[in-house]
Structure 1
Amino acid sequence: MSTQFSRRSLLAASGAALALALSACTAKDPLAQQANAGDNKNYIAGDGSVTEYAAAERKDAVSFAGALFDGTAVDAKSLAGKVTVLNFWYAACAPCRVEAPDLQALYEEFEPQGVAFYGVNIRDEAATAEAFERNFKLSYPSLADKDGGVLLALTKYVPPAAVPTTLVLDKKGRVSARILGLADKGTLKSLIASALAENQ
C-alpha cells in the first residue's frame, strides 16, 4: 500500500513547456488537464502529497536520456546501482527557490554514500539556470529539459503533475517515492535513507 501525507502549498508550473511534455498524460493528471485547457494560467495548485511506494508495487526501472547544461549526456542506465534523487524545477518557481538550500544540504549529506542528485530544469535557458545555481550555491548538476523529453519519459512511471516535484529512485532505478510540491527536508531525508537501507 502507498503511504500518503498531505500539506497545503501553491505550486508554480510552466504551462508552455509542460503543455507539450504532458500532452500524453492521463485525463486524471491535473497538470495535464490544465495544460490541455490552454488557459495560460502557468500555475497549478498541488496537493502537497508525499507517496512512498512499497517494493512490490513499484513499476519497472525508469528509462530516460538527456543532457546537462554543459552538454554532458546522462541516461537512466548510468544511474544503475545508485539511489537517485530527481528534482523538477525552474528558476522563477517560488517553491523551487525555497527548497533549493535543503536539496543542496541533502546532496552534501548523501553524496558520500553514493546517492546521485540531478535537477531537471523544464523551462530555462542555460544562463538563467546557471544564475539560479550560483545564487543558491547548488553543486549538483541539472538536466536541460526545456523540450520536456525527460519529463515525458518519466510520466510513464509516475506523473510529476506539478513543479517542483521530487522523485527518489531505488538502486534498481525504480520510483520508490514522489514528493508532489515543496520538498520538506526531513521527509526527503527519510525517503532517501529508506531507499539506501533496502537490500536489493
Structure 2
Amino acid sequence: MAVFTRKRLLSAVAVAVASVALLAGCSNDPLAEQYREGSNKNYISGTGVVKEIALENRGEAIAFEAKDFAGETVSSEDFRGEVLVVNFWYASCAPCRAEAPTLEAVNKQFAGQGASLLGVNVRDQVDTARAFEETYGVTYSSVADINDGSMQQAFGNEVPPNAVPTTLVLDQEGRVAARILGQIKDESILRTLVRDTIAEAE
C-alpha cells in the first residue's frame, strides 16, 4: 500500500487552490459553499486522503449487483476489462455536491477510453437522486444502496461508515487500485489515478 506520492500531490496543490476558488466563485449551492467555508455542518466526511494500492497488494475482485434509478440491473461483470471509478454519494452531502463537476469531467474524458464511472447512492429516493443528477449535469449511472446496503458490504472496509463521499478506482480485474476518502479536492489527482490504472494493462 502506498500513499499518493508527495511530489505528485505538491505539484497539484496550486491547481487545487485555483479550482476551489473557481468553483466557489460560480456556485450558488449553499451546502457546497458551507462545506468549502469549512463550517462542517450536516455531514461527516473523510479528509480527501488518497491511497494507491500496488498490484501485488490488491485483494480479490469486487463482485456486486444492484439496480440503477431506471430499474436496470448493473453488475461488476458489466465493467470487467476496463477501469471502473465508483463514487459513494447522497444528494444533501455538501462535499458530494462540491465534487460533482470533477466526477462528470473525468467521466467525459475517459468515456470510451478504457474507464467508466458508477455512482452509489446511499440515502436518497429516486426523485431526489435524479434531481441531483439534473442539477449537476451528471450523465453516468448511479445505483441505489438504501435498502440492504449490499454495495457497501461488497466493498467491505474500503468504504468506512459515514465516510461519504468515497471514491474507489477499480482495475481491469475489478480489484481496488486506489481510494479517495472524502471529497476529491483536485481533478488532476483522479485523472492521474485513472490514467495510471488504465496503463497497467498496457
Q: TM-score range by the shorter chain?
A: 0.7 to 0.9
Query: Aligned with 1:177: secondary structure?
Result: strand
Alpha-carbon distance, 1:76 to partner: 1.0
Alpha-carbon distance, 1:112 to partner: 2.3
Partner residue in 2 for 1:57 = 57
Question: Structure 2 counterpart of 1:155, which letter?
Answer: G
Structure 2: gaps of 5 or more residues = 14-40
Structure 1: gaps of 5 or more residues = 8-40
Taking the aligned partners of 2:54 and 2:97, their CA distance within structure 1 comes to 30
Taking the aligned partners of 1:93 and 1:198, their CA distance within structure 2 comes to 33
Partner residue in 1 for 2:141 = 141
CA distance 1:160–1:189, shift in 2 (3 Å): farther
CA distance 1:136–1:117, shift in 2 (3 Å): same
Displaced runs of 4 or more, over 3 A: 4-7
Partner residue in 2 for 1:29 = none
CA distance 1:45–1:91, shift in 2 (3 Å): closer
Partner residue in 2 for 1:180 = 181
CA contact (8 A) 2:64 2:75 kept: yes
Partner residue in 1 for 2:36 = none
Taking the aligned partners of 2:169 and 2:45, their CA distance within structure 1 comes to 22
More helix per residue: 1 or 2? 2
TM-superposition CA deviations, 1:2-44 (whole Å, max 9, x none): 224799xxxxxxxxxxxxxxxxxxxxxxxxxxxxxxxxx9743
Question: Structure 2 counterpart of 1:167, which letter?
Answer: L
Query: Aligned with 1:192: secondary structure?
Result: helix
TM-superposition CA deviations, 1:80-99 (whole Å, max 9, x none): 10100000000000000010
Query: Aligned with 1:78: secondary structure?
Result: helix
The more displaced of 43-52 and 107-116 is 43-52
Following superposition of structure 1 onto structure 2, how do residues 1-200 of structure 1 map, counting pairs within 5 Å?
1-4=1-4, 43-147=43-147, 148-155=149-156, 158-161=158-161, 162-183=163-184, 184-199=186-201
TM-superposition CA deviations, 1:93-148 (whole Å, max 9, x none): 00000100111111000012031111000000000000000001111000011121
Identical columns (%): 46
TM-superposition CA deviations, 1:139-163 (whole Å, max 9, x none): 100001112111111115x234410
Query: Aligned with 2:63: secondary structure?
Result: coil
